[in-house]
Structure 1
Amino acid sequence: MSNSTDKILRELEEERVRRTMLTKEDLKKTYLELEEENFPINKRIKFIADLGSCKEIAYHYELICKDWKEDRKHNIESSFDRHGREGIEFLFEQLTKIENEKIRILTAFLLAEILSKLKHREFHSSFCNQLILILKSFLNVSDEILRRKIIIAFGWVGTSKEIDLLTQQMLNDNDALCRAWSATSLMQMSFHRVEAEVICKKTKTIFAQVIEKEKDLYACGIMIEAAQILFGKKWISSSAVENIEFEKIEKARKTAVRFLSKY
């Protein structure tokens, strides 16, 4: 048993050393091979792990941007959090240089996603606060898909000061999914930087208002689901929301509004 454990530990250490020693040329060669083979999933997963553990942060980001520009979903950004503080500082630096709006917003979203995974690190709060200012500057972007990402990002890094910002989006955004994700982001805040009680106190009336008036049935279902998690209730199932079941959503709407109006 001991020999077996030692062997596994030795192999893990060898793999760690191999990854840290990878050069940009090594990575380029592997990427070209992956392109030729149309990115088979097993090899792609190994390559993504290599990127996250290597020292070539700039090249990792270059490949992420290539995916974004070509609208490919190879998930190359999923290991960027392994670069830790150095990777985060690198992304903040890129935000001061990039001119392309889409790439800037996706970079800010990636930063928020990374910070949501590194809540235990000592730099977490200061970087979140720095990112909030950047996210606010993007909030009025006309592209709904990009605006949804900004709204989602607030749920990961926002403070109680951003609750009003999200409730306004929930009330006034002209895109149904932006309104829905605003509700979800308020719920997400309770898992990150804001106590659920604080959110409930500030949003109960607005949740009742938006759930009652929401015309898009799917968005309404998402709002109800977010509210029930925040307020500790069970009004609707995820499957009823996903399948847009009219009767179940309407029944949950009435129950939720009644509860929130009295809460």
Structure 2
Amino acid sequence: MKIGITGATGHLGRLVVAKMKERAAADDLVALVRSPQKAADLGIEAREADYDKPETLQRALQGIDTLLLISGSEVGKRARQHQHIIDAARQNGVQRIVYTSVLHADNTSVSLATEHRATEQALKDSGIPHTFLRNGWYTENYTASIPGALAGGAVIGSAGEGKISAATREDYADAAVAVLTSEGHEGKVYELAGDEAFTLKEYAAELSRQTGRDIPYKNLPEAEYAAAMAGFGIPEEMARAIAGWDVSVSKGDLFDDSRQLSKLIGRPTTPLSVAIEEALQYTSKAG
């Protein structure tokens, strides 16, 4: 049975490929990527699959039985791009699609959910058996900004006292592998989130504890936070979007205590303290 993995050269995709190679024959795995050259180190077959070039999708999905559709990275284009690959999957007789959506996609205020809702509906309309992995926030969304927080002496945001049930990419990769390599997931919707929820104040406190520095959390009005990020070089539209996501955090939209993720992967999710420790080690080596 051939399993196709879109976005296989991305952060999540690479983790999934590595873990799938431990559970399945490499010959049964296919990396579906925009640039096959960048997938040469994955150790599996790589096929060109450009969401904006439907003809490549038709060729790429030939003989694929199960498809892991990792959501695209181009915000604003993803609903259309995902529709292209769903259409190609249907035309090629793909038997199952596992899709990485967003936590509580059906009722969250997170702006990203609009495209995920559209893709979920497209999958329902396609008639292809499917599973929704509604991933919560990645802990890396925060730990990636540790160098900036250390340089600026503070963690900034607009999340207020909102709790974030984040998990690491590795946690979410394990969930995808669990679903791809076992039965009984058709039609299921998994709300995936970390076991341990934290506020940004608590995140800053843990960062302070591990660095031995006083790094407070500074809560800013949405517009001020967006302006600050734009000042760091983030494009204005993206800066506004990120600030808006923080406001969603303040409303509780990224909190979930159902522990479906840890149940699915058969272990506790990665604690915030461990994620910060690993990020600090990486930052130290990179420096």
The TM-score normalised by the length of structure 2 is 0.25
More helix as a share of residues? 1
Query: TM-score scaled to structure 1, two decimals?
Result: 0.27
Considering Cα pairs closer than 8 Å and 6+ residues apart, tell me whether 1 or 2 has the greater RCO.
2
